[in-house]
Amino acid sequence: MALQGTCREIEDVAIVDFSGKITLGEGSSTLRRTVRDLINRGHRKILFDLGDVDYIDSSGIGEMVAAYTSVRSVQGELKLVRLTKRVHDILQITRLFTVFDVQTDEAGAIRSFRSIQQS
C-alpha cells in the first residue's frame, strides 16, 4: 500500500498519521513532501504517528533521517510515536533509536515537546 500521510494539529504540534509503506519511490517522496510542507507552513513541532506503517526499507530510513535533519535545521523537533514492531526493530538494529525521540503515546509525546517558537 502506498504511503499516505494525514496531518492534524493538537495545540502547536503537527501530527502526521502515516499509513502504508515507507519505501523507495512514492513512499519516500510522500514523506519528504509532507515534511517540507509542514516546515514551510511554519511548524517546528512535528510528531509522526507510525502506528499504521508496517514496512520501511533503507530508502525509507534514509528519508526519515533526512526529515529529522531538516526539522533540526530550522531549530525544530521531530518525534515518533506508536512504532510497529517491524519499524521498531529496524530503528533498533540501525542504531537510530539513539537519534530519534521515540514516544510511547500521543499525549506524552505532545507534552514532551519543549517550548519552541513557531515561525
Partner 1 sequence: MAAKTQRLEVTLETLLESVDLAENIIMRISEVAGFGEDDRHKIGMAVREGVVNAYNYGNQQDRRKKIFLTIEFDPEKMVVRVLDEGEGFEIEEVPDCLAEENLLRTSGRGLFLMRAFMDEFTVQRGRGGGAELVLVKKLPQNAARNGEFQVQ
Return the residues of window 57-116 that contact partner 1 according to CB under 8 A. Answer: 57-59, 61-63, 65-66, 68-69, 86, 90, 93-96, 98-99
Specify the residue, 2 or 107, whose C-beta has the smaller distance to partner 1: 2
Distance in Å, CB of 105 to partner 1, minimum: 26
Say whether residue 20 binds partner 1 (CB under 8 A). no
Residue type, 17: D
Task: Give the whole-angstrom CA distance, residue 77 versus residue 22.
Answer: 20
By rule CB under 8 A, what count of residues binds partner 1?
Answer: 21
Q: What does the alpha-carbon distance between residue 86 and residue 92 come to, in Å, rounded to a whole number?
A: 10
| In the complex, least distance from residue 63 CB atom to partner 1, rounded to whole angstroms | 7
* Residue 36 in contact with partner 1, rule: CB under 8 A: no
User: Which residues touch 46 (CB under 8 Å, ≥6 apart)?
Assistant: 13, 14, 16, 35, 38, 71, 76, 77, 78, 79
Task: Taking the CA atoms of 42, 38, 95 and 50 in sequence, report the sign of the dihedral they define.
Answer: positive
The nearest distance, CB 35 to partner 1, in angstroms, is 13
